[in-house]
Structure 1
Amino acid sequence: MKQADQPREGDGIVSVLADEPLIQPLSAAFDGEVRTTLPERGPVRAVVVGAALTTADGDELRCVAAAARRAREATRVLAAQRGGVLVCVLLLPEKAVKTGRPPCESLSGFVRSAAAEQSFYGVSVCGVLLSEGGDPRLVRMLTERPSVAAGQVFLVGGGEVARVAAPAVERELLRAAGRPSSAQVAEAFGAAGGPGTAGGHGTAGRVVIVTGGGGGIGRAVAVGLAEEGATVVVADLGCDADGRGRDPGFAQDTAYEITRRGGRAVAVCTDVSRPDECRDLVAQTLGAFGRVDALCHAAGVVRQALVQEATDEDWDAVLSVHVAGARHLVEACLGPMSERGHGRVVLFSSRSVTGSPGLSTYSTAKGAVLAYGRALADRTAGSGVHVNVVLPSGRTRASAPQAPGARRRRIELMRARHHGIADPVAYRAAPEQDPENNVAAISWLCGPGAGNGLLVGTGGPRVELYRPGAVDWSIPLSELLTSRDISP
């Protein structure tokens, strides 16, 4: 089916794959002309996938993952016919339908990455966060205007329809001639209204846990902080880029490199998806050094796959390391930090939350981390524990060339085209992709002068202050008459 800007009424089938509380209101929005299964034969004009979060259910990310898993089946059909619309809907309590909450940030990450890749198949992907009892007719309108819907996320609640803009650079704090230095970064943050720079930067004499310190950006951060005089606890599972396997040698190699250069470091083989291992990591740090001054959660798993190819195992692995791992680590560190009235937490999100082909699972997880970091910063405000989120860039284990198969090559080609990269190999090898470029900004965020609640872009010669996803326009539901009312 050729994708059209305004399909004729009744042109193709609309299927709804959703939790029971969503079936009736979505069916009513389409005047009952929907199916609750995917048809064996098309054409399929649109598929609406959804999940409902009741007030009693505290696992907000489960809701997003459930909708995303249904999207897997939907995109298989839509991509095969080379066209159609996929609308991802979450039914939430009124208080959860807003930016900055995990459902919004994680769904936004999923939708934008899914939209980026599915556009190559002529499929338009969008998302809606719908409040309980809210008006679902926007969902139907989105299926009628694919060109408007692509990559957009909308909130429907409180009598309004609002569109959510992706995180974006608010201002460039620093553009260095080469790799940014700690002094340059401290000056840039001070000029931007930070707490001050006199003796307020650097990690000398501080005890810092760096997860994912066995490779990529985590290793660069661990080595860089140690060179500034920090004592570094290098935590790494030693798995491959997909999160499989266990090898203490990765963390040990980084710790050895630090001590060889005259620094102080210990290695701990840690699976951050396991709360007991996170508690043990912090207990070992306290036992050896008496305190934890800062936590950098750089550990990550990347399961590169198109939406229609991502398995349940992919979803579980990525969410457990990035999201559950962040929570386990923070819970283990927050008590000792709060008792001392001082601590720094740096959580690693990703620029992929703005959309990147083949990274829908990763973008979903990193959106949740972004939301968690912002909420945690509010929670700890005034306690002496500062929490910030970074969007780093640079070569990692996951991006290293490794004779990829056909599926990986297809994803890399999509990603390069989407981001306007002419030569992916040269791009990875460029000095701007050195993971060490992230160190200075992260060092400042681990130091005494760090602010609180910041979203910071690092990597290359630049340090940027990001604006989190926010509503860029809203209109009363009573004024939403036709699909043209949601045009950008």
Structure 2
Amino acid sequence: MTGTGTGMCAGRVVVVTGAGRGLGRAHALAFAAEGAQVVVNDLGAGPDGAGASAGPAQRVVEEIAAAGGEAVAHGGDIATAGGAASLVTTAVETFGRLDTLVNNAGFLRDRMLVNLDEDDWDAVVRVHLKGHFLPLKYAAAHWRAQAKAGREVAARVVNTSSGAGLLGSVGQGNYSAAKAGIVGLTLVAAQELGPYGVQVNAIAPAARTRMTEQTFAETMAAPGADGEFDAMAPENVSPLVVWLGSAASAGVTGRVFEAEAGRITVMEGWRPGPTADKGARWTPAEAGGAAARLLAESATPGRVYGAR
């Protein structure tokens, strides 16, 4: 199992969505290795979101139990109010509390914009963005009630964005928009929930999973050989997620981190750049001239993934 076994999360109850495979599975195992009791959520859907199966979540629960940990499976659809509410209820009724929520569930339906159907847009935005909002909403309501009852809350939320949400990705307009929305949701939630003892951060991971095997086929095809560092293993991302989800990350909130291989980067987001102020209304020609001068002084944007 992933983790140093230091007991960093001993006594904490952690929910991980989309934890039946890939990154979510790695996170669940890593939290359990650090002493957490884990709610393993997974609908068991295919890579495009179709179908359902209890098998993936239950297999992760069995892995955790075999290693001496404690876990319970949850197969609800967290992009529905009922599924998200029952996720929180499962944690509280099974383990007596909830300390950390890791929002990870997602799938892809990649198309160029002119070929992107409305259903493909709605489905991806639903599972990624709504599937972050609803578990966060119900977990936050639980923590707010705890805080108002006078109980100490040291809760953590780790949301999952993507480089596609930070820079854009050709052929992934729906996914990029949803992942950008998750960053905005993270920033708002960090401010709104801070008074209740809740910290909210996001990661933008890169790793070998079912979702990424086609997008990064050339660079992610072969795991590391025996004794060689497997740079694209999902387990490489989990240590940062575990730390963010632990009490050790006290004071860190409203931040976005990229995590890939052995690299961790703090993303600094949108900041004001060069500015011009006329002190009065511009004409279109004046506005264009000012914009051109400001662009010449500004930093070059990061390259959109897949751009030629």
Q: TM-score range by the shorter chain?
A: 0.7 to 0.9
Hey, what does 2:161 align to over in structure 1? 349
Question: Match for 2:259: what amino acid?
Answer: T
* 1:9-51 C-alpha deviation (Å, 9 max, x unpaired): xxxxxxxxxxxxxxxxxxxxxxxxxxxxxxxxxxxxxxxxxxx
Post-superposition offset of 1:459: 2.4
3-state SS in 1 of match to 2:124: helix
Hey, what does 1:251 align to over in structure 2? 57
Q: What is the rounded CA distance, in whole Å, between the counterparts of 2:86 and 2:255 in structure 1? A: 29
> 2:32, 2:69 within 8 Å by CA — same for their partners in 1?
yes
Q: Rate the CA distance shift 1:356–1:262 in 2: closer, same or farther, 3 A.
A: same
Post-superposition offset of 1:355: 2.1
3-state SS in 2 of match to 1:398: coil
* 1:409-465 C-alpha deviation (Å, 9 max, x unpaired): xxx5xxx6xxxxxxx334343411100001111111010122111211112101111
Hey, what does 1:231 align to over in structure 2? 37
Post-superposition offset of 1:181: 6.8
Hey, what does 1:375 align to over in structure 2? 188
Is it true that 1:464 corresponds to 2:273 in the alignment? no
* 1:313-344 C-alpha deviation (Å, 9 max, x unpaired): 11111111111111110111112223142311
Hey, what does 2:276 align to over in structure 1? 475
> 1:278, 1:332 within 8 Å by CA — same for their partners in 2?
yes
Gaps of 5+ in 2: 224-229, 297-308
Question: Match for 1:311: what amino acid?
Answer: D
Q: What is the rounded CA distance, in whole Å, between the counterparts of 1:248 and 1:181 in structure 2? A: 26
Q: What is the rounded CA distance, in whole Å, between the counterparts of 1:442 and 1:484 in structure 2? A: 41
3-state SS in 2 of match to 1:323: helix
> 1:396, 1:435 within 8 Å by CA — same for their partners in 2?
yes
Q: What is the rounded CA distance, in whole Å, between the counterparts of 1:459 and 1:255 in structure 2? A: 26
Q: What is the rounded CA distance, in whole Å, between the counterparts of 1:272 and 1:436 in structure 2? A: 23
Hey, what does 1:219 align to over in structure 2? 25
Hey, what does 1:389 align to over in structure 2? 202
**Identity of aligned pairs, percent?**
32
Larger radius of gyration: 1
Q: What is the rounded CA distance, in whole Å, between the counterparts of 1:484 and 1:229 in structure 2? A: 56
Question: Match for 1:286: what amino acid?
Answer: V
Q: Rate the CA distance shift 1:287–1:350 in 2: closer, same or farther, 3 A.
A: same
> 1:291, 1:336 within 8 Å by CA — same for their partners in 2?
no
Question: Match for 1:342: what amino acid?
Answer: A
Post-superposition offset of 1:213: 0.2
3-state SS in 2 of match to 1:334: helix
Q: Rate the CA distance shift 1:259–1:347 in 2: closer, same or farther, 3 A.
A: same
Question: Match for 1:216: what amino acid?
Answer: G
Hey, what does 2:305 align to over in structure 1? none
1:137-152 map, 5 Å: none
Aligned length: 273
1:419-458 map, 5 Å: 424-430=217-223, 431-450=230-249, 451-458=252-259
Hey, what does 2:211 align to over in structure 1? 398
Gaps of 5+ in 1: 1-179, 184-198, 402-411, 417-423
For residue 300 of structure 1, the aligned residue among 106, 109, 114 is 106
Higher RCO (C-alpha 8 Å, min separation 6): 1
Cα-Cα RMSD: 2.1
1:93-172 map, 5 Å: none
Hey, what does 2:140 align to over in structure 1? 334
Q: With the length of structure 1 as denominator, give the TM-score of the two structures.
A: 0.53
> 1:211, 1:296 within 8 Å by CA — same for their partners in 2?
yes
For residue 287 of structure 1, the aligned residue among 87, 93, 100 is 93
Q: What is the rounded CA distance, in whole Å, between the counterparts of 2:35 and 2:292 in structure 1? A: 59
Q: Rate the CA distance shift 1:247–1:368 in 2: closer, same or farther, 3 A.
A: same
Is it true that 1:360 corresponds to 2:173 in the alignment? yes
> 2:201, 2:256 within 8 Å by CA — same for their partners in 1?
yes
Q: What is the rounded CA distance, in whole Å, between the counterparts of 2:37 and 2:158 in structure 1? A: 16
3-state SS in 2 of match to 1:473: coil
Q: What is the rounded CA distance, in whole Å, between the counterparts of 1:473 and 1:362 in structure 2? A: 30
Question: Match for 1:205: what amino acid?
Answer: G
3-state SS in 2 of match to 1:472: coil
Post-superposition offset of 1:262: 1.3
Q: What is the rounded CA distance, in whole Å, between the counterparts of 2:190 and 2:257 in structure 1? A: 14
Q: Rate the CA distance shift 1:470–1:303 in 2: closer, same or farther, 3 A.
A: farther
Hey, what does 1:48 align to over in structure 2? none
